[in-house]
């Protein structure tokens, strides 16, 4: 008991200390690196809170892919950073902001402490109806059966987000390849890593999706790992990102949500309600949807990081400059 307490206390101190460090960090790149580490610490916190599914999501999306995005943004903004530092607000304003932020944090903490203890929960009802879905992981039960519509709409929200990123391109660049990830310099170790790691990464990703039905894991976590492998291959220069007008890629982007809606609509005839599954086939149908969603989420995440398309000559120039 006490040893657990010591670990928890150390974890909390580390999280708070790292958060302070990130806030105080001068260079955006350093702060982004700190953010990745911070995400990994939060993953441990979630594990300690016995929320393994959340921990995996935090590690894969909150820390991994978001961190990658921030690192990329920091690298691109580096030339403007000195200018930005010169225009930073005075000490009084910064102290004021700090005090206000602390007050908000205190207010949030107070509100959370106001909540009843033990917290009311649907966990028992979730567990009681789980056999009807053929699943073993209650989190997957919530995401794919009870609240399937939320998962469906979330997977759809990714599409406007991607279109938002794409729409940052120029009219000339439309139809070209995404230009955010430029291949690394030749002679670096990345190409080797990008040859060795993906077979294992892909296996882990697929395992996360497959295991998600009964154990912690699932399509979002699995897709994040798969997307990371794809990005590694693109950054290493082994494969180019597909042009945004690529028909196959467009199909992969939408196949998951479409498959979800199709099976959901079939549920009207077969199981009496939209997004319901006939009991005998519940698990295979859910797995089919998860497989489709994994493909689409992987494609969206990879393309979100790959950025807006640029005209082909510019893309070639960027690639050459690096190699």
Partner 1 sequence: MLAALFADLMDLGGLLLVIPLMLPVVGLLLALLVRGRTLGRFALALLLLGLAAAAVIAAAVATGDQALHYQLGGWAPPLGVALKADGLSAVMLLTTAVVLLGVGIYAQRGFQVPAGLPETRRSLAFWTLLCGIWGGINTVFLGQDLFTLFVALELLTFSAVPLVALDGRSETLAAALRYLLFALLGSVLYLLGAVLFYGTYGTLDIALLADLIAGADTLPPAVPVAAALMTVGLLAKTTLFPLHLWLPPAHAGAPPAASAVLSALVVKGSFFLILRIWFDLMPALLTLTAAQVLGALGAAAILFGNLVALRQTRLKLLIAYSTLAQIGYLFLIFPLAAGSSSVALTAGALQVVAHACAKAAMFMAAGLIAASLGHDQIRELRGSGRTLPLTVLAFGLGGLSLIGLPPSGGYLVKTLISAAAVDTGQWWLYLVVQAGGLLTAAYLFFVLSQAVPGPRQPTPPHERPRLAQQLIVLALALCALLLGLLPLSAVDLLEIGRPAAADSGAVSALLADAWTLDKLWASLWPVLIVAALVLAVRYRQQRKPPRPEGTSATLSPGRALDQLDHLLRQWPVAGLLLLVLVAALVQTMLVGG
Question: Under the rule (CB under 8 A), what is the footprint of partner 1?
Answer: 93, 100, 104, 108, 111-112, 114-116, 119-122, 125-126, 129, 145-150, 152-154, 156-157, 159-161, 163-164, 166-171, 173-175, 245, 247, 250-251, 253-254, 257-258, 261, 265, 267-268, 271-277
Query: Would you say 231 or 275 has its CB closer to partner 1?
Result: 275
Minimum distance between the CB of residue 164 and partner 1, rounded to whole angstroms?
4
Cα 92 from chain centre: 37
Minimum distance between the CB of residue 195 and partner 1, rounded to whole angstroms?
32
Query: Would you say 145 or 209 has its CB closer to partner 1?
Result: 145
Minimum distance between the CB of residue 215 and partner 1, rounded to whole angstroms?
22
Would you tell me how many other CB atoms lie within 10 Å of the CB of residue 93?
Answer: 10
Query: Would you say 200 or 274 has its CB closer to partner 1?
Result: 274
Residue 293 tokens read as: 């969603």
Query: Would you say 148 or 234 has its CB closer to partner 1?
Result: 148
| Residue 141 contacts residue 129 (beta carbons within 8 Å) | yes
Minimum distance between the CB of residue 100 and partner 1, rounded to whole angstroms?
7
How far is the CA of 213 from the CAs of 136, 140, 141, 153, 280, in angstroms?
Answer: 6, 6, 8, 20, 16
Distance CA 316, CA 178 (A): 11
Minimum distance between the CB of residue 105 and partner 1, rounded to whole angstroms?
13
Distance CA 199, CA 204 (A): 9
Short-list 320, 284, 321, 302, CA closest to 64: 302
């Amino acid at each position: 008991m006490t040893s657990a307490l010591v670990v928890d206390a150390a974890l909390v101190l580390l999280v708070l200390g790292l958060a302070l460090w990130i806030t105080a960090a001068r260079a955006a790149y350093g702060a982004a690196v700190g953010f990745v580490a911070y995400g990994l610490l939060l993953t441990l916190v979630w594990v300690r809170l016995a929320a393994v599914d959340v921990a995996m999501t935090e590690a894969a999306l909150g820390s991994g892919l978001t961190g990658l995005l921030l690192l990329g943004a920091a690298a691109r903004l580096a030339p403007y950073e000195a200018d930005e530092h010169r225009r930073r607000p005075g000490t009084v304003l910064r102290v004021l902001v700090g005090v206000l932020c602390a007050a908000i944090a205190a207010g949030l903490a107070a509100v959370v402490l106001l909540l009843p203890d033990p917290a009311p929960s649907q966990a028992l009802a979730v567990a009681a109806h789980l056999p009807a879905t053929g699943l073993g992981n209650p989190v997957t039960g919530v995401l794919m059966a009870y609240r399937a519509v939320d998962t469906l709409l979330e997977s759809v929200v990714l599409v406007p987000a991607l279109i938002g990123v794409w729409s940052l391109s120029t009219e000339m660049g439309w139809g070209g390849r995404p230009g955010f990830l430029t291949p690394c310099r030749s002679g670096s170790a990345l190409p080797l890593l990008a040859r060795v790691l993906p077979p294992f990464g892909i296996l882990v990703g697929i395992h996360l999706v497959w295991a998600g039905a009964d154990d912690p894991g699932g399509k979002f976590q699995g897709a994040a790992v798969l997307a990371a492998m794809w990005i590694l291959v693109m950054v290493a220069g082994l494969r180019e990102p597909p042009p945004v007008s690529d028909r196959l890629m467009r199909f992969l982007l939408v196949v998951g949500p479409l498959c979800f809606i199709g099976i959901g609509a079939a549920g009207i005839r077969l199981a009496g309600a939209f997004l319901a599954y006939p009991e005998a086939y519940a698990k295979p149908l859910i797995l089919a949807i998860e497989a489709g969603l994994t493909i689409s989420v992987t494609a969206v995440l990879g393309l979100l990081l790959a950025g807006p398309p640029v005209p082909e000559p510019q893309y070639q120039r960027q690639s050459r400059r690096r190699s």
